[in-house]
Structures are given as C-alpha cells and as structure tokens.
Amino acid sequence: MASPEIKLLVFDMGHVFVDFEWESVCLAFCESAKIDREYFDPILRRIGNLGYERGKIDTAGLIEAIYDMIGVRYSPQEFTRMWNHTFRENEEMADLLQNLKGQKPLYLLSNTNECHWRFLEDNFQVSRHFEELLLSYEIGFVKPQREIYDVVLSRSGLAAGDCLFIDDLPQNIEAASALGMHTIHFQGIADLKDKLVQHGIQC
C-alpha cells in the first residue's frame, strides 16, 4: 500500500522519460550556418536570455532572433527538424508511468518550450501519462524558481509534504526539498523504482 503522506507524483520530462543529446542539436545548427561550435556558445546564451522556455517569445520570434544573430533564416519546418531531431522516448519509463498512474495522480513539471512540447506531444503523446501538464513556457517560470513549484501546490490543492518530485537535476531537487516536497534525484529507472518502493509505491 502506498505511503499515506504521498498523494501526488510530480515528474520532470527531459532525461527522465524523454532523452535527447543537446550537443548534437547545437552541432546541427553550427553545420547549417557554417559556424564554429565555440562561436555558437555566446549565441546560445543570448537565445537563453530571450525567455523561450518562459513563454516570453514564441517560435516564430525565436527563428527571427536566430536570423538576426547568425544570418540564417530557417523555415519553421527546418527549425523544427533540427531543434527536435535527437528526442526519443524511454519506453521502459513510459511503461512505469502508466503503472504509476493507476496508483497515484501524476503531474508533469517541465522546463520546456513551444516547439519541443508540440513535437513531443505529437510523436509520443506525453500527455497520456498525466493529470496535469505544468509547462514552463505556459506558466512563465522555470525550475528551480520557487514560483513554478507553488503552481504545483496551487493546482493540486495539496501541501508540499503530500508531493513526491522526481527530477534529474540537483538544483531542481534542492528547490523542491526547500519547499518541503519529498524528492527523488533521478539516476536511472532501477534506482527510481527502488526509491519509489521505499516511499511505499509499487512499481
């Protein structure tokens, strides 16, 4: 029987049940623009400052900003292909999520952007696993900002101690722990299953 204090499971997405290689994405843009990888790093920082993951700019605006930075205008189709080309679903984790869904409500809490989310939903039907989708570009905050965890509590109507949060990044785990959530630092599916069992959740 599941531990009574855990009423909600909250999952990160990237490198938990969806995997990708960001370096390969960067190299694809460098190759298409005929620029060195080192030259692309400050461009990436400028792109990050635009707030794409916080919904401050949409995909069309990002494509235009990239054109201003590197002088290459990508069509929406070209951008989507390069931006998403390394994504793949971890099928074993997808099976686990479906099993867990039968026991506890599941929320998705992800730092993501418009283009990534549309691709992942179209190709892997990510939403099928979750009762609530808390996406940074829709909320306007990103992990580890406290505000994004507050949205979890507001949407669920639960106390922090009722929630178990699973993420691969230590800084995101630390922020959730500081708020009072139970946490699991994701380090692989076998370790996750062991730790879920420790919380009284069957896998």
List, for residues 79-126, the tens digit of each pLDDT value. Answer: 999 999 999 999 999 999 999 998 999 999 999 999 999 999 999 999
- Give me the mean pLDDT over the 147-156 stretch: 98
Model confidence at 57: pLDDT above 50: yes
Model confidence at 2: pLDDT above 50: no
The pLDDT of residue 102: 86
Q: What is the pLDDT of residues 6-50, one digit of tens each?
A: 999 999 999 999 999 999 999 999 999 999 998 898 998 999 999
- What is the residue-averaged pLDDT of the chain? 95
- Give me the mean pLDDT over the 141-167 stretch: 98
Between the alpha carbon of residue 184 and those of residues 1, 155, 177, the distances in Å are 19, 21, 10
List, in order, residues 6 or more apart from 78 with CB less than 8 Å away.
32
The pLDDT of residue 14: 97
CA–CA–CA angle 192, 13, 120 (5° rounding): 135
Q: Beta strands of the chain (E only): which ranges?
A: 8-11, 18-19, 88-89, 106-110, 132-135, 163-167, 182-185
**Listed residue (56, 13, 10) closest to 149, CA to CA:** 10
* Torsion 112-116-118-122 (CA) sign: negative
Percent of the chain with pLDDT strictly greater than 70: 98
CATH superfamily of 8-19+89-198: HAD superfamily/HAD-like (3.40.50.1000)
Instruction: Please state, as a whole number, how many other Cβ atoms lie within 10 Å of the Cβ of residue 21.
Output: 12
The pLDDT of residue 1: 44
The pLDDT of residue 4: 56
**CA atoms in the 13 A half-sphere facing the CB of 190:** 0
The pLDDT of residue 12: 98
Domain-by-domain residue ranges, the chain?
Answer: 8-19+89-198, 22-84
DSSP, res 131 = S
Token representation of residue 189:
């599916």
Instruction: Please state, as a whole number, how many other Cβ atoms lie within 10 Å of the Cβ of residue 129.
Output: 21
**Contact of 55 with 38, CB cutoff 8 Å:** no
**Reported confidence tier of residue 5, pLDDT bands at 50, 70, 90:** confident
* Residues across the chain: 203
